[in-house]
Amino acid sequence: MRTTAMNPEAIASPSGNYSHAVRIDTGDGALLFVSGQVAFDPDGNLVGEGDMSRQTEQVFENLRAILEANGASFEHVVKITTFMTDIARLAEMAGVRRRYLPDPPPTSTTVEVTGLFRPEAMIEVEAVAAIPA
């Protein structure tokens, strides 16, 4: 078994002791654990301030970049967890999310939180993917 931490160039580089994803290769495939993604563009700027749909779109583009860097797609995602600062905006988030996730979608948990690490961030999404060999 081999474990690899990674930060793809297509998304903003994290600061400090942090990895965007950790991949565990088992020989029969891989498990990919993706850290919570917020609406940062590749330059590290938060996009869509006050706009749940735009932030959600950027979050899922960041997830896509990490998945693709690992030879995966949203078809391989088995679990997502979403943290939102305003659950009343669930329909806006879900409308965007539906465009990215397969049918049937993976298991999912959505939680309302009092805040994220930046006050203007409205959503954060983490994922787990099972990648076949």
Q: Write the CATH number for 103.
A: 3.30.1330.40
Dist. CA 79–CA 89, nearest whole Å = 21
Dist. CA 26–CA 83, nearest whole Å = 30
User: Structural domain of residue 55, as residue ranges?
Assistant: 2-132
Q: What total of structural domains would you count in the chain?
A: 1
pLDDT of residue 4: 82
Q: What string of pLDDT tens digits covers the 133 residues of the chain?
A: 777 878 888 888 767 678 899 999 988 999 999 999 999 999 999 999 999 999 999 999 999 999 999 999 999 999 999 999 999 999 999 999 999 999 999 999 999 999 998 999 999 999 999 999 9
pLDDT of residue 31: 96
Dist. CA 97–CA 83, nearest whole Å = 13
pLDDT of residue 10: 86
Q: The whole model's pTM is what?
A: 0.95
pLDDT of residue 33: 96
Helix axes 52-69, 90-100, angle to 10 degrees: 30
